[in-house]
Structure 1
């Protein structure tokens, strides 16, 4: 690279109700929603934008009018996750229970012993891992 610095600062997640999803991730991660903006003109009530600041990258949540939850594991002809969030935990059982209490759903298929795949309320897969 020549003469410039690149720094990852945030990840933007699209959702059918971004402010509700930001609230879920804030509860999951034990923090607060830092910014929450209402829908714009001519947008539905669930539209808007929100942000959750973490010890790592900031999570931004943006309205997607044509949202379709991904299928995981991927299946031909179905929407698939192009990325997911990985969250390090000290106790997998307690972390899964906490995530489910906040509104997550445990995936039927679990590919590894030390990782649990869950779905957030909008259907994005995310992983808790030791």
Structure 2
């Protein structure tokens, strides 16, 4: 496996740490009608984070650790901003998994493609609309 795959896996791991943190904020602010969706996303990102921790070790790296806190891209005082944050988190996750798809091969590439697809679907659910090329900012 290439050093590019390791670097991309580390970036995805760091993004998953941030997403887990972000969904803690989303879950605390989102309305009750969407709380189940936030909980499911939080659980999915924790599972991806844990899998990536193992992947980075398997690739010979030392897994990135979570920061104590993360700067949010905007204030999240209410349910509407929590929904926007969730969509933003998923867009960011799609971007790092797109990079991992490009850098990896074999099973890791398939896992990254699955994670990219899942993030794109969650982003559509949160936002209500999709983008033409999820994870590929240069194409949007």
Q: TM-score, normalised by structure 2?
A: 0.28
More strand by proportion, 1 or 2?
A: 1
Based on CA coordinates, which of the two structures has the bigger radius of gyration?
1
